[in-house]
Amino acid sequence: MAYTKADLKHDLAAMGLTGTETILIHSSMKSIGPVEGGADTVLDAWMEFFAEGLLLLPTHTWRFINEENRVFDVRRSPCCVGILPELFRQRPGVLRSLHPTHSMAAYGKGAAAYLEGELDANTPCTPGGCYDRLRAAHGKVLLLGVTHARNTFIHSVEEVLNVPNRLTDKPMQMTVVDEAGAQHNVYMRRHYNAQQPHISEDFVKLEQAYLDCGAARNTKFGDASCILCDAEGLFRVTRHVLAPNPEAFVTEPVIPPERWQGLCTGKTGG
């Protein structure tokens, strides 16, 4: 049996979501299982359910925007993070930010205001930018069929905390083409660490910490195992653990529970 749109909307409600949230969804279409109508039905379910909220999907291009290709066209540049974001960004009413490597697409209340200012960003997840402002919006992060290794919000926490050895020393000049076709020269530093080329793979070291402290909880969407997170809670737990060792993700093979147990007396709620 394939999942219907009604089934998928029911799963969102079963998570305790109301549809009024600001929510960022990182997703794996394959993990959901068979769906009547495929990816378009999944997007229909999300956009209808969050019609009174703000639905956000990452539309990153970091895999394609590099030394050989320095032009990001907000209208045409494909994203590198899956079929759902790629189809979502092309839908009527969906807006996309002007960040050349870590753009975000938005649909719903306040979408334009939420995405503004990204042309001035000079790092992947600049403090005060689209990812960081999830905290101020009391936003949620839904990891749908993926782990914290795909949780871009944690990159924004590292940038706010000024964790060392996360970015290239020198920025790269890029060109951003906006919706009207106008070109803008920008300068962007990229993610870089000499020891670990894929820093986000180490974010899973805090999976249990987020669960124990109430910043995240496990749930389901179709066949997909999901983690529903509270952005403020993720920030609080990550800051608490990284404070004594800002490079813990890279330098510590395992982060022991005693590093966060003292924080869990005041749970944040997922």
Q: Exposed, middle or buried, 38 (CB in 10 Å: 0-12/13-18/19+)?
A: middle
- The per-residue b/e assignment along 144-174, b for 16 or more CB within 10 angstroms, e otherwise, is bbbbbbbbbbbbbbbbbbebeebbeeeebeb
> Maximum Cα–Cα distance for the chain, whole Å?
53
Q: Is 137 left (phi over 0), alpha (psi -120 to 50) or beta?
A: alpha
CA distances from 169 to 1, 16, 162, 164 (A): 52, 43, 14, 11
Q: Which amino acid is at 168?
A: T
Q: What is the pLDDT of residue 261?
A: 87
* CA atoms of 41 and 4, how far apart (whole Å): 8
Instruction: Provide the 10 A C-beta neighbour count for residue 267.
Output: 13
pLDDT at 198: 80
Token pair recorded at residue 250 = 């890279």
Give the three-state DSSP class for 24: strand
Strands (E) in 109-223, as ranges, are: 140-144, 172-177, 183-188, 216-221
The pTM of the full predicted model, rounded to 2 decimals, is: 0.96
User: Phi and psi for 12 in degrees, rounded to 5?
Assistant: -65, -45
Give 254's Cβ-side CA count (13 Å radius).
4
Pairing verdict, β 172-177 and 216-221:
unpaired
* pLDDT tens sequence for the chain (270 residues): 899 999 999 999 999 999 999 999 999 999 999 999 999 999 999 999 999 999 999 999 999 998 899 999 999 999 999 999 999 999 999 999 999 999 999 999 999 999 999 999 999 999 999 999 999 999 999 999 999 999 999 999 999 999 999 999 999 999 999 999 999 999 999 998 887 778 899 999 999 999 999 999 999 999 999 999 999 999 999 999 999 999 999 999 999 999 998 898 644 444
Euclidean distance between CA atoms 222 and 144, whole angstroms:
10
pLDDT given for residue 269 in this prediction: 42
Distance in angstroms (rounded) separating the CA atoms of residues 1 and 35 = 9
Q: Structure tokens of 140?
A: 């949620």
Helix then strand then coil, % of the chain, to nearest 5 = 35, 20, 45
**DSSP letter at 111?**
H
Question: For residues 86 and 23, what is the distance between their CA atoms, to the nearest angstrom?
Answer: 17
**Token pair for 231:** 């952005």
